[in-house]
Amino acid sequence: MPENIKIGFIGAGVMGKAIINGLLKSNFVNKDNIIASEITEELAKKVSDETGIKAISNNRELVKASDVIILSTKPFIIKDVLEEIKENLTGEKILVSIAAGINTSFIEEIIRKEPPVIRVMPNTPAVVEEGMSAVSRGKYATDKQVELIMQIFSNVGRCIEVQEKHINAVTGISGSGPAFIYLIIEALADGGVKLGLPKKTAIELAAQTTLGAAKMVLETGKHPSILKDEVTTPGGCTIAGLAVMEDNGVRAALSKTVQETAKTAAELCNK
């Protein structure tokens, strides 16, 4: 990474702060090299107090001070933010958008010039350096610039490059996915509580099991169905539980959840 690169976050909500805290925790960048902007001085102070970084309420000043600008605002205000900052964007900067449903072409049309635009779909586990980010390049982004952005996001978890046409599907799986997994963990724990386990114990059991199962998929390279079958014995308790899940449409519900989330993400760009 270029020495002393300055990373600016326009918007430091849940996702923005997750990435900021993950970068600080990984020691990838010094806190003095991260700056954030918020819509009011009060919110900026709150961000500064919570993260230790410099935070201001002036987007234009942030752009001037940053080499990489990460747009982490709500999708419906992206256009206004771009109109505000476009005169301060220069070709040597990199503009990164993590806003759901906003295509790179939409951004390029507004700024009508360089800098290069790169789209990233991260997720909140970035705060514990276990995030999953997918990167899509805009028209003017070079391999070197994409490599830099992937290096930044790889410090808060895993990072892959995908074609932009797939980014809404990514949103459905990993972007919104943590919320779906939390619901599954909660449901598993509730089942344990109903059987008499203390809630804290049940949540730990469910969460660690989810973590362990995920690591098995990633580290063994085995298909999930193979790993599932390895836990399942004829006439055993696991197959009995799996039968209940199939009878109640859990597989179909999760698949439809991803599809509906991706559909909503795509619709955001048209609003």
Q: Where do the domains of the chain lie?
A: 7-167, 177-268
Domain 7-167: what homologous superfamily? Answer: NAD(P)-binding Rossmann-like Domain (3.40.50.720)
Reported as a pLDDT band with limits 50, 70 and 90, residue 3 is: low
pLDDT one-digit tens code per residue, 76-118: 899 999 999 999 888 889 999 998 889 999 999 998 777 899 9
**196 Rama sector, left if φ>0, alpha if ψ -120 to 50, beta otherwise:** left
Measured CA distances, 74 to 20, 33, 240, 254 (Å) = 17, 24, 44, 25
**Mean pLDDT across 198-204:** 99
pLDDT, residue 271, reads: 59
Q: Say which CATH superfamily domain 177-268 falls into.
A: ProC C-terminal domain-like (1.10.3730.10)
Let me know if the fold of 7-167 is the same as that of 177-268.
no
Neighbouring-strand partners of residue 132: 158
Give the pair of three-digit tokens for residue 166. 């797939």
